[in-house]
Structures are given as C-alpha cells and as structure tokens.
Amino acid sequence: MGMYFIISGLFYSTMLNCVYHSKKHVDSDETRIFSSLLGLNLIGLILELFSSIFGQSNNVSVLLSAIMTRFYILYLMGFLLLFTLYIYIICYKTSNDKKILYFDALKKVSYVIFYIAAVAMIFMPLRLHSGYADGMAVDFVYLCSAACMGIWLLSMFKNFRRIKKQKFLPIVLFIVLAGIMSIIQRSHPSFTVMTAIQTFVIFLMFFTIENPDVKMIEELNLAKDEALKASKAKTEFLSSMSHEIRTPLNAILGFSNGLLDDTTEPKILEDAKYIIDASESLLELVNGILDISKIEANKMELVPAEYDTEGTLDSLVALAKTRLKDKPIQLKVSFDEDIPKRLYGDVSRLKQIILNLLTNAIKYTERGFIEFKVDSITKGDRVRLIISVEDSGLGIKKEDIDKLFSKFTRLELNKNISIEGTGLGLAITKKLVEMMNGKIVVQSEYGVGSKFIVALDQEYVECKDLQLENPPIILNKKVKSFDNKKILIVDDNKLNLKVAEKVLGPYNVITTLAESGVEAKEILKNDSFDLILLDDMMPNKSGVETLKELKEENPMFDIPVVALTANAINGMKEKYLNEGFDEYLAKPIDKVELARILNKFLN
C-alpha cells in the first residue's frame, strides 16, 4: 500500500517540478526555499521508492539497501531543516523587508546541522527489515521530527497575526497530519507514506501558500506605480521647463517683433526676422515635446465644446496664407456647402491637426498648388468631416511612408536640411486623429506631390443663433486702434511687462503696469480699466488668488480679466476659464490671439 503512495507522490512531484520550473518566478528567499523543497521532495520519493524495493528484494545486496535507506533518512533531515527555514520566513518576513533578519545565519546553522547529521548517519546503527528499517538512526530522525514540529507549531501560533491566513492553515494541517502519520508509522513501520504527504503539502503550498504568479503581479504593480510616478515627474518637469523656456522666449519674440515695427535699417530687419524664425521653431519644439509627452502619459484629454465651423476653417486659411509668405504657390480652398454651421468637438485639437497638415504642405512645396478641401457626411447627429490637404511638393518615397508618423523622424534630410522641423508634427497629428476615433491616410508620389486625408466625426449642433461669438480673424490688415482704452498689465517679471507693453503699442491703448497682485489691487482701488492682463505664476499672490480676492471684495467687479501665462500645458485654457478668468493668452503672446482678445473685449 505504501508503494502506491510513493508512486503517486512521484507522479505529482515530477509534474509540480516541471510546472514550477517552466514558469518565471520572483527570486526571493521564499521562492528559493520552496524550489529546494520541491527538488528535495522528488529526490526523497526516488530514494524511498528504491529503499522500499531493495528492502523487499532478496537479490539486492544489503549494503546497497543500507546506503539507500541512510540517504533517505538524510533526506528527511534535509526536509526538516528546509521546512524550518520556510516557517522562519513566513513567520518573520514583513512585506517591505528585502532581507529577513538573521535568516542568513540560520541558513548557515542549518548547513552545519545537516553536515553533522550526514557524518553521524554513517556511524549510527540501522537495522533493515523487509520494506522498512529501524534502529538508532531512525529513532534519531523521529526525535528530530518531533522537535521540529513542536518548534514549527510554537512559532506559527506565536506569530499568528503576522502570517497570511492562506499560508497558516495548510502548514498547520501538514504539521498535524505529519504528527499523526509519524505515530502510525512508528507502530506500523512498513506503512511508508511520509514523503507522499510531504508532496501533498508542497502541492497545496504551490496553489495556496506560495503562488509565484501572484507575487509577480504584486511586483509588476509596484513597478507600474514607480513608472507612473516617474512619468508624472516627467510631465511636471516638462510643464515647468515649458514655463521657464517660454518666459525668455516671450521677451525675445516681443522685442524682435518690436524691432520690425521700429526700424527701417535693412540689416537689422533681416537679423530680427532670423531671430523671430529661430524663436518660433524653438517654441514649436517645446510645444511638440509637451504634446507628445502628454499623449504618451495618457494625459491628453479632448475638451469638446460647440464651435463655429466656418469661422474655424476661415481662420485656418488665414493662417496658411501668412505662412505661405511669398512662395509661388496657389492656395485652393473648397469647403462643402453642407457642412453644418455649428459643430460639437475639440476645436483646438481639430485646428492643430489641420494646421500641421497645411504647414507641412507649405514647408515641403516649392511651387505649384496646395489644395485644402473639407467635405462632410451627416448621419443623424454625427457629422463626418473629410479633410484633405494636397500639394504639388517634394512627395514621399513609398518606402518612407511607414516611417512618416514616427516621432522625431524627418525624411530626406539631405534635401530638407534647410526646412525647419522637429519630426514631431505628424506623430502628434496621428495620435490626435486616433484620439478622436478618426483615421489619417497618405497618398504620395515622389517628386510629384502628396495628399493627406483625415476623416473624423464631430457632433451636429442645431444652429439657432447665426451671430458669431468670435468673428473670423482677418489678417494682414492694419491693426485696429482702441484709442484711450485702459489696460492694466500685471506680471512679476519686468521684462514681460515691457514685452506686453510693446505688443500693445500699435493699438494706441493706455497701459498701466503692476508687478504683483497686491500692487494691482492697490491700483484698482483708485482707477478703472477696460481690460486686465493678469499673469498667474507670481510669487506671494498668484493671478488666480488675486482674481478671487478682487471678486470677493467687490461683488460688482466686472472688468474682463485675461489669464496671461507661460504655462502652455493642454487644458490650461479650460482651467483658467473655470477659475473665473474671461480669456486665456499664452506667452509668448501670439499677435493674432491678442487681436482677437482685444476685439472681443474692447470693441
């Protein structure tokens, strides 16, 4: 009967070893001990099997049988020591510990005990019977087992609170079962089931006590948390870096634009244009890196709102015209007449997508035409916009089409080296289109031209009021004069104040400067203004706090306040509108945006 137990134990142990070692598991003291227990148990079963067979067979020499039995007893000693180490781990390990106190010392003591037992095993008397053995060596193991079980039970109950419940029960069950079996085996020595019971407990431990996959998931979760923290730190770093870079850029752009208005000296004009071009590419790069890092950190959110379609498309055409400068390119525009007047979607992202395609067409076309087409298909409240931008430019080689949307990838660098670019535009465009559940495709013939087509859905909005909130921006027109309108500019940075004053110069407004929220509040006590440009990031009192106090102290406060900030992380506009600002103006100040805002509030 004992033989059946040994054979089935052998079967389970082999399977368990195969399964355990074929899987990846965490490398810890606990798993190492568990792995040794598994291996040792298999060896024990083989030894027990052979010593049983040899003991019952008359053809095998007594010496061989004795060696097998002694090895088997040694195995039992090894198992006791390993199990003691395992109990020590589960009793004294806390989840944060990388190293368990005194564990290495205990391991060394166990090795010493094992070697002493191995030597003692050679000399200790042993009597062999048919199928079992007795004598001093066997008594010694029984004694050690009883001592170990006592120690295990004591430690388990003493550390009851620390031990995880699922570990506690099977081990106590094993100790009790092993105790009972030892007593039975002592009175019926041929009933050899001890090793099979050990297999059974290791089997239970595999599923309920020590599940390496669960530990792997725990470790992975920890790693994920770490990665998320790092990514958050990266986004925060980028946000502050953007702020830091945008502040001096604001000054560079403001003053060089001022030079264009102030001087007629050709050399200075030419240099100022170079400075403006370089600053604008730097700004584009900062914005691109910000966008891509936001997308990769899954922080990019769409902010849908109702918008005026015609005004939006017209403003894009106007921007494209200014970017064309004096290139000999014909800009053809065709918008489907059926496009609803008002749509619901993230208009700033839609503009970003289209502007990227138009800008690329302009950059990579020397002469010929650029065709900007928008068609629409309306189905219920869904409006599918089909936007296409075609050019007669450089074209893209077939083998390069796949690389087009990878970040920081620029094609044909030998030809395009003089064209400013970061290789981020199309990567961002594609991600934005995908976020809007749309599709982007490219058709291109090298040397002939390219066509980028974007299809995405927006929501239909019933058009009740045809009057536009923001009239389309007409560029290249002389700036409007807002004579005698009073504007208060608040910024802690003197250079920024000068820049704001300079860009407002052509509008003939009266500007007052304040270097802090406190100063602004003082000025507002005695004077009235038509508009306030209020920087947010100021020491002591931020723009948000200043505005809050102004509104709390004077419930009648009705001067329009525009948030002026270099913090260009997406979603900022919405944040400032929620904080009670009437508009948002990013630094470096964009002339077109400034014109729109002045038109909105000073008309």
Q: How near is the Cβ of 457 to ligand ADP at its closest, in Å? A: 24
Q: How near is the Cβ of 400 to ligand ADP at its closest, in Å? A: 8
DSSP-assigned letter for residue 421? -
Binds ligand ADP by CB under 6 A, chosen from 416, 443, 512, 516: 416
Question: Is residue 280 part of the contact set for ligand ADP (CB under 6 A)?
Answer: no
Q: How near is the Cβ of 492 to ligand ADP at its closest, in Å? A: 34
Question: Is residue 370 part of the contact set for ligand ADP (CB under 6 A)?
Answer: no
If the CB atoms of residues 391 and 583 are measured against ligand ADP, the closer one turns out to be 391
Which tokens in the block code for residue 450?
Answer: 């390219």
Q: Which stretch in 95-103, 120-128, 394-402, 468-476 sits in contact with ligand ADP by CB under 6 A? A: 394-402
Question: Is residue 412 part of the contact set for ligand ADP (CB under 6 A)?
Answer: yes
Closest listed residue to residue 521, CA positions, set 554, 560, 475: 554
Question: If you search the block for the tokens 């219920």, which residue do you land on?
Answer: 380
Q: Where are the alpha helices (DSSP H) in 263-392?
A: 266-296, 309-324, 347-363
Question: Is residue 422 part of the contact set for ligand ADP (CB under 6 A)?
Answer: yes
Query: CA–CA separation, 366 vs 352, rounded Å?
Result: 23
If the CB atoms of residues 421 and 517 are measured against ligand ADP, the closer one turns out to be 421
If the CB atoms of residues 254 and 393 are measured against ligand ADP, the closer one turns out to be 393
Query: CA–CA separation, 148 vs 155, rounded Å?
Result: 10
In the shown chain, the binding pattern of residues 349 to 368 toward ligand ADP, with x for contact by CB under 6 A and - for none, equals -----------xx-xx----
State the CB neighbour count (10 A cutoff) for residue 207. Answer: 11
If the CB atoms of residues 47 and 424 are measured against ligand ADP, the closer one turns out to be 424
Q: Could you tell me what percentage of the chain is helix, strand and coil, using 3-state DSSP and rounding each to the nearest 5? A: 60, 15, 25
Q: How near is the Cβ of 325 to ligand ADP at its closest, in Å? A: 17
Question: Is residue 450 part of the contact set for ligand ADP (CB under 6 A)?
Answer: yes
Question: Is residue 426 part of the contact set for ligand ADP (CB under 6 A)?
Answer: yes
Question: Is residue 211 part of the contact set for ligand ADP (CB under 6 A)?
Answer: no
- Answer for the pair 516, 488: CB distance below 8 angstroms, yes or no: no
What string of DSSP letters covers 59-123?
SS-HHHHHHHHHHHHHHHHHHHHHHHHHHHHHHH--TT-SS-TTHHHHHHHHHHHHHHHHHHHHH
Residue 193 Cα distances to 27, 67, 136, 143, 203, angstroms: 32, 20, 21, 18, 15
Question: Is residue 54 part of the contact set for ligand ADP (CB under 6 A)?
Answer: no
- Answer for the pair 42, 14: CB distance below 8 angstroms, yes or no: yes
Q: How near is the Cβ of 601 to ligand ADP at its closest, in Å? A: 35
Q: How near is the Cβ of 287 to ligand ADP at its closest, in Å? A: 12
If the CB atoms of residues 171 and 350 are measured against ligand ADP, the closer one turns out to be 350
Residues 6+ apart with CB under 8 A from 177: 197, 201
Residues that bind ligand ADP (CB under 6 A): 360-361, 363-364, 391, 393-396, 404, 409-412, 416, 421-427, 450
